[in-house]
Structure formats: structure tokens, C-alpha cells
Structure 1
Amino acid sequence: MLACQKEAINFFEVGEKAYGVLNMIESLVKTNDDLHEIISEAIVKNEHRSFFVLNSIHKKRLLNSSITEQIFIDTFNTDRRKALEDLFIEKIPQWQVDKLEEYDLTPSQIYKLHKCNIGKRFLGLLQDSTYEIIEEDEEGAAIRHKWDAPNGKYTVTANIYPNEIVASVFVHLKGRSTKLNYNYLCEVDKKKLPKYVTRQCEEIKKLLEER
């Protein structure tokens, strides 16, 4: 273990059985600059609970990641575990990497799925999401995306055409024939939806509009 990692453990007074926090420290704290960033975050936010501080830093790192889809694919083809750990910025044991054999996902699909679910851990991403690839079948065709909630209650679909700048996002509730146009919902109505559904709507909308 690196000296800066030991200092982080001491700063947060992390117990030896707090495996999740210890793994986060090992993934996020690799230099003295990393250590100073985390301590500054704790001081500025007046937050000394290790998980909340580390989780905040982790989210920032994910959002600012410079790993492109092609870099991920190239690394994945030579070293799956390294590619996944670099992309998700977390320690991933080999048994989790081996779980990939149970899912029909290409490296490109894993990358896009991760970008649409920033912050979700690798194993959770595999277990909790049903993925439909974003694709353009022909010139001028819409780019589409679909997400199914793990509990089966909600489905979010979205599309955007090449000449559009705003993606159309729809929420389907199981058992109902009608769908909600997310773009037209007021803030009060959006708050009536489960937070995990609104989060998916916003992330998918952003993903399509940035393409």
C-alpha cells in the first residue's frame, strides 16, 4: 500500500474491515495530489464520512475521464480487466470480469452503457440493465436508445434525428398503453417519477444530444 493511501485511511479513520472504502482509496488515491484533493474536498464540504467524500471524487473523475471509446476498445482487446478498471475507476476482481461471458455485450456497448449510467458500478451495470444499442440504420435515420428498469416497471425510450438538436424522450409505465413525453413534463410532474427514472431520462437525453 502506498504512503498516500495510508494517510487517507488515517485521515478518515477507516477500519480494516471497511473493504468497500479501502478499495475506493486504492483506486482513487495514487499520488500526493490525489490525497490533497480528497482532503480538500472533505474540508470544503465539511464532510468527514469517507464514503461520501470518495464517492464525490469518484463521480468527478468519471465525468472528466479522457478515455475515449476507441481507447477503451483497444485496451479491452488486450487486457479486459485493465480496460474495465480504467473506465470505471474502481478495482474489479477477476471473477467480475469473467461474468462478461454471461452477457452478449461488445466493448463498444459496454462503453456506451457506462456513459449512460455514470456512477454505477461495473457489476451492477451488468446485472441491472438491459441494453439496446444506439444505432443509425441508414443516412438520415434517427439515433435511438432504450433502457429497461431492473424492476420491469418502467422503460425509457429516446430518439434524435440528424437535423434535430433536442432528443425526444418517452417514459413507458408497465400496464399502461399511453406514454409520457418527458420533454413536456413540468418539474412537479417530473418529481412524481422515481429518481432513478428521471436520472436515466436526463442521462440518455444528454448522451443523444451530444452525439
Structure 2
Amino acid sequence: MSRQADELDAAERIRAAFQRALVVGFRGELVEGATDVEIDGWAAGQGVGVVPAAFREVMRILGRQGGAVYAGTVFGIRGPDAETKEMAVAGLALAGEHSIRDVANLLVISEAGGYSFLVIDGADLADADPAVWEVMESGRVMHCGSVSEGFERVVDDIVARKQRIVDDRAAGRAEDRWEAFRYRWD
């Protein structure tokens, strides 16, 4: 497959995953995508000139406002930033040995609580759907699958949460109002 075909395939996997969330009633108006100019500016803020196709597509869907999908994380064009990248790199320094080959050019794609960072290895930025790594401030580094696999897991969770709300309602149990708000019920 050519590079362009790989990029189109990766972007399509992301769009198809998000469509699954919409089909079960996830309220798409709760998220807002970023433009390519905004995405490139965000990456440049981390000293990175390439955003992999799969992650670019995630950002096109929810890069300006993604909290309804990535609640509790720093995500999108308003961050992670250069300072966040420094914290992730510090976690890698504590790790000693790890499989990330180009630390200087890695891209931090999300951060949670100042201690957990999802990153793409700088050596993999030209890949259409590269591996994602979790870097902990403690120095633990863990492979998390590809960008599309990670996004598909997030969508699986959105689908499962909707079903839990349906089940809770059927059983007469109280529901989390924020969770219920994220979905259409018509």
C-alpha cells in the first residue's frame, strides 16, 4: 500500500470509529474539531513538524473541544504543550531503558494529572497510524497499541457507557447525569 493509501486508511478507521459513537447516540455537538492549521501550530509548539494521519483525524474531530470524550485529560490544540513535553521527557529519563527511539521529537498527545502522558515516538511520526506509548512520571513506559486502536477503545467505552445507562434505567438505578447528558435519547 502506498503512503497516501495508508494515510487515507488510517483516517477512515478514525472516522468509522467515531461514527459508531454517533450511531449509539453520542452527542457529536459536544466536541469540536480543529483545523489543519491549528493542528500544525499545536504540533509546532512541541517542536514537531509532522502529525501522523490517524492522530490528525482524531484532532479534526475533537481537537478544539474533546472533553466529552477525553474527560479529565489535557488534550487538543490548547495543550499538551512544550512544558508538558518536558515533563514526559523527564519521565523517560527516569525510565532508563525504553523502546522510544527519538525522544527529542516525540509528540505528546495527552496528559492526565501531570503524571501520565500519551506520546508518539518521534521516529514514528511519518507512520500513518503509529504506536502510542504511556509514559508515567515515575519512569514506567508502556506500549498502548496504535493511534486507531486507542481511539477505537475509547469509542468502545462510549458505547459500553451508553448501554450501562440503559441497563441502569431498566433496573431503576440512579444514573450519572453527566454520562446521560452525553447521549441522545430520542
Q: Over alpha carbons, which structure has the higher Rg?
A: 1
TM-score by length of 1: 0.27
TM-score by length of 2: 0.30
Higher normalized helix content (fraction of residues): 1
Give the structure, 1 or 2, with the largest relative contact order (CA under 8 Å, sep 6 or more): 2
